[in-house]
Structure 1
């Protein structure tokens, strides 16, 4: 459409395209939010009403019996505490270690740097299921098979996190700033903590969200490590409810709704850093 076309004609031309875009975005929103809304509604329904036909979008009447039964009959608070605590510890350790390793790969030149980075980067192509058994055997043989420690191990230094931080540091931390800090008498670790880390807040937030979700939603690794029902993580605990003889869908829905609370809180707390970290790579790249 030429520049001489009247503005109202251009607006009429854009209206159908914009309507289609909004319709597609609305459909995607319903596809993603629909299951969560259904779970939220079903968690307040008696078990017999969850699969009633025709389905009722709202519980009538709403009841908290599912939540009371879940908390009274199952060690759900223990599952919730273990999953949340492990995910928080794994996130804190992973963010620091990945930032430190990414800084080393980005700003230091040492023998074997390229080889080590290639080995680390190539590990992204190896599924976790391939190293699951060797990792478990190593932890048991070294006496480090305690669940509270072992649950954190896979998320301490993920290759994706190191690569992400290395790329962001190359783009965001100028060498001149580091040289100026060294001239002022700062040690290397002090430079990392006081100069580099504050510049990495967007990428640290994005990495923290990713690590928290990976650890919090992990199922296969806890399944190998834990056999005691009281020490289950949330994914394992909810799976036991689903595999029960009478398929306790009411408790599974209530537990699933409660399980979303930490993830939503993490996203709300770190949403600014997450969006900045994701957009920074697009802009600077």
Structure 2
């Protein structure tokens, strides 16, 4: 006796229709995001457009985003009459060094707080964490006196000191290491004969790449855009950073917007490049922190 198998054909499921309220909420969300995008993008477009306009056309009425005529005279005047490249080099150099040192120091400190037990650990971590609530202006003068009395007021050193071990960076690394690196992995490396620093360098650091990228972007922006500390520690205009240099152009008697705008456009290039180069690590670090938190 033979049996015949019958194949059942399942009809493809149709996508569920989106109801009107959900469609309205989505449309409102897109409209809000578009409005926010315009709010954030418009000042950048205005600065870029104004940097190619003649001085008298920057605030012409009615305003126009298209320079007519477009000119490179503002850039030529900026680079020819101001020590812009000196400001640019000091800003990039100090921010780059501060970022590298800060990322490494914060990773080591966060590793120590996350995976080691030592006397006074909780008190030390509480003091470090509570310093996040202290405005930088509160410690500005004591830090200035300490740097000057120590004979370390050289701009290339003084501009790096405040960003070497930020409390936010240490806390960020500590939280990520606690969540992402199991103790068993570290024990395996130690059993294989790795030293503590070898374990940190070969095991911990590779797993921290997303968070290191996010911390690197944050550290670079903090140092590169710093205004208050360089204003206090630097007196020679030749050693100004970009924020200070652009500020003296803006604060001049003639309000040199024809020099400020091209300077702002050129100053924004490094931050854009940093974001482009580290965007993958930055997004992975933010997503990992959101999921694991």
State if a TM-score over 0.5 links the two structures: yes
Deviation per CA, 1:28-77, whole angstroms, max 9, x where unpaired? 00111110010000000011001000111110111000000000000000
Question: CA offset at residue 13 of structure 1?
Answer: 4.1
Post-superposition offset of 1:19:
1.5
User: TM-score normalized by structure 2?
Assistant: 0.94
Given candidates 97, 103, 123, the residue that maps to 1:115 is: 123
User: What are the Cα deviations for residues 81-122 of structure 1, in whole angstroms up to 9, with x where unaligned?
Assistant: 100111000000000000000000000000010010011001
Partner of 2:16: 7
Distance in 2 (alpha carbons) for counterparts of 1:266 and 1:108? 33
The 5-angstrom pairing of residues 125-140 of structure 1 reads 125-140=133-148
Question: Residues of 2 paired with 1:46 and 1:164: CA distance?
Answer: 46
Residue matched to 2:266: 258
> How many residue pairs align between the two structures?
280
Alignment of 1:30-41 (within 5 A): 30-41=38-49
Cα deviation code 1:203-257 (max 9, x no counterpart):
0000000000000000000001111111000000000000111000011000000
For residue 42 of structure 2, give the secondary structure of its aligned residue in structure 1: helix
Matched ranges for 1:214-253 at <5 A: 214-253=222-261
Q: Report the Cα distance in structure 2 between the residues aligned to 1:207 and 1:163, rounded to whole angstroms.
A: 11
Q: Per the alignment, in what secondary structure is the counterpart of residue 67 of structure 2?
A: coil
1:143 maps onto 2:151 in alignment: yes
Extract unaligned runs of 5+ from structure 2: 1-14
Q: Which runs of 5+ in 1 are unaligned?
A: 1-5
- 1:28 corresponds to 2:36: yes
Measured in 2, the distance between the counterparts of 1:12 and 1:245 equals: 58
Cα RMSD between the aligned structures?
1.2
1-structure distance, mates of 2:235, 2:22: 59
Cross-structure match for 2:11: none
Following superposition, the deviation at residue 12 of structure 1 comes to 4.1
Q: Which residue of 2 aligns with 1:54?
A: 62
* Deviation of 1:142 (Å): 1.0
Distance 1:179 1:7 in 2: 51
Matches of 2:142 and 2:20 in 1, distance apart? 63
Aligned to 2:5: none
Q: Post-superposition, which runs of at least 4 consecutive aligned residues in structure 1 deviate over 4 A?
A: none
TM-score, normalised on structure 1?
Answer: 0.96
Give the whole-Å Cα distance in 2 for the aligned partners of 1:187 and 1:172.
21
Q: Alpha-carbon deviation of 1:14?
A: 2.9
Give SS of 1:51's match: coil
Larger Rg: 1 or 2? 2
CA distance, structure 2, for counterparts of residue 141 and residue 242 of structure 1: 33
Q: State the shift of 1:11 in Å.
A: 4.6
Aligned to 1:185, the other structure's residue is in SS state: coil
Pick the structure with more helix per residue: 1
Shift of 1:16: 2.0
CA distance, structure 2, for counterparts of residue 66 and residue 38 of structure 1? 15
Aligned match for 2:284, one of 270, 276, 279:
276
